[in-house]
Structure 1
Amino acid sequence: MATFKITLAYDGTEFVGWQRQATGTSIQGLLEGALGELDGRKVTVTGAGRTDAGVHALGQVASCSIERSIASGQLVGALNARLPVDVRVLSAAEVPPTFHARFDARAKTYRYRIWNADVVSPFERRYAWHVDAALDVGAMNAAARLLEGRHDFAAFRAAGSAARTTDRMVIASRVDRRDRLVVYEITGDGFLRYMVRAIVGTLVEIGRGRQPPEWMGDVLGARDRARAGPTAPPEGLFLVRVDYGGPGKVPLKADTTGV
């Protein structure tokens, strides 16, 4: 039995999300199906992040154990031959059997893309939120910086969230403009469901001039979802990478992740 760390990218447009569902096609279900076909038995996969329907990934990480003896490079090719073209395995690395993609993660980075122009490019409509109103990126970035550090993010969680704690550490939170794209990037030790999208919706309210940058701090302190901005749509959100560095790092073998 060998345990693998698998890094993959996917276009989430056509899927119900990462997590296996009773109906609809999930990324987890596709990967488990491909591994099961390869291994000749049922294989369970654990993902580092549970991306929602319509959300994309550039560097999702999954862990699994299989009985078949196979080299990491061969596993990449074998899985990609069994997966649809909008899901690609980027790398595979054999790891100790104790490795857990979710619980061993030290940090995750998400990126949200906003297409800020009168007309949305047909090549961006699946990968960015179209906001045609002028956005003050300086004000948005000032507000985003207020989220750095350890805070209670209850104001940005999904309604009815069952999270045991809403405290999270945000390592970096930045907004910048790249021509017609406004890009928000956030790195933290963990995220609540819809947290990034709720933050983006709040940032857009500030960018449009409806609220000042310091309003972000007021919303954070209120711990009330009703005080924050709307939840941004899923298509602009990407899971960029998952980090496993730092003290207590799991010793990986032959990890060739290129994300």
Structure 2
Amino acid sequence: MNYLLTIEYEGTRYEGWQRQKKTTQTIQGKLEQVLSRMTEKEIEIDGAGRTDAGVHAKNQTASVHLAKKWDPKEILQYMNQYLPEDICVKSVEQVSERFHARLWAEGKCYSYRIGTDEQKSVFDRKFRYHLGETLDVEAMRRAAQDLVGTHDFKSFCGNPKMKKSTVRTITDIVIEESEHEIRIVYTGNGFLQYMVRILTGTLIEVGQHRRDADSMPELLERMERKFAGVTAPAEGLCLERVFYSKK
């Protein structure tokens, strides 16, 4: 039987999503450990994507094949009983045998929160990058418009040895401003390693008037990581949703 898990986690104390030999502190590792205990078999799950160390998720997804049929409610209750308090399985549903959380994903939505107050918020410090200065949001929005669409995002890829295609489609970038923070929401068909954080670091530099708002087309054409902005810190990033048209 094949199941789809929807998972929420605070990534602060974890070394990212992907299971690693050098540490037990990964989201995938914790989930597989509990599922293996429940089924008394070695279990491996397939996540929709690999969030980096320190990155959070509200609706990460993963698929898992189990040898026998389980009641989804039973899986849900068991996992949440034994998972650490900063990981929660929000839902479990049976899906088609061919379904694969990563291969069937048609898009993702990420948000990035930037604190603009002079003082760091004690309660939001794990979920917001404290920049501590105001930004030119209108300039950032102008720059973001040139990043929407289908482009080669090699300049925004954190993996210099990337051999696969670096072409991706961003369908929307929304920049919201409130009294204490700026929130950037990215929606697209997929994102490269560190791509959202590099995009954010670049847009922050635009907002600081350290980079011209109209320079994004040239930056895309250069296709070299060194020309883009800094990689924004992990704590401000959250995977909001993974999109599927069929399961």
Task: State TM-score, norm by structure 2.
Answer: 0.97
* Residues 200-235 of structure 1: per-residue CA shift (max 9 Å, x gap): 000000001112211222211211111111000100
Which amino acid in the other structure matches residue 243 of structure 2?
A: D
User: Which residue matches 1:193?
Assistant: 193
- One-letter amino acid matched to 1:126: K
Alpha-carbon displacement from aligned partner over 1:75-130 (angstroms, at most 9, x marks no partner)? 11111011000000000000011000000000000100001110110111111111
Greater mean deviation of Cα atoms: 162-171 or 227-236: 162-171
* Residues in 2 aligned to 1:44 and 1:178: alpha-carbon distance in whole angstroms: 42
User: Does the alignment pair 1:127 with 2:124?
Assistant: no
Number of the residue aligned with 2:204: 204
Question: Gaps (5+ residues) in structure 2?
Answer: none
CA RMSD of the aligned region, Å?
1.0
Greater shift in the superposed pair: 152-161 or 29-38:
152-161
Aligned to 1:215: 215
Match of 1:235, as an amino acid? Answer: E
C-alpha contact 1:19 1:27 (8 A) present in aligned 2: yes
Q: Distance in 2 between matches of 1:161 and 1:236?
A: 26
Look up the match of 1:17.
16
Secondary structure of 2:139's partner? helix
User: What's the CA shift string for 1:2-32, capped at 9, x where partnerless?
Assistant: 1100000000000000000112210000000
Aligned to 1:255: none
Deviation at 1:133, TM superposition (A): 2.3
Q: Is the 8 A contact 2:12 2:54 kept in 1?
A: yes
AA aligned to 1:13 is T
* Mapped partners of 2:124, 2:22: distance in 1: 28
Distance in 2 between the 1:164 and 1:69 partners?
A: 37
Q: 1:23 to 1:232 in 2, by over 3 A?
A: same
Counting only pairs closer than 5 Å after superposition, residues 236-255 of structure 1 correspond to structure 2 as 236-245=236-245, 249-250=246-247
Residue ranges of structure 1 left out of the alignment (5+ in a row): 251-259
- CA distance in structure 2 between the partners assigned to 1:107 and 1:185 by the alignment: 13
* 3-state DSSP of counterpart to 1:132: coil
Number of equivalent positions? 246
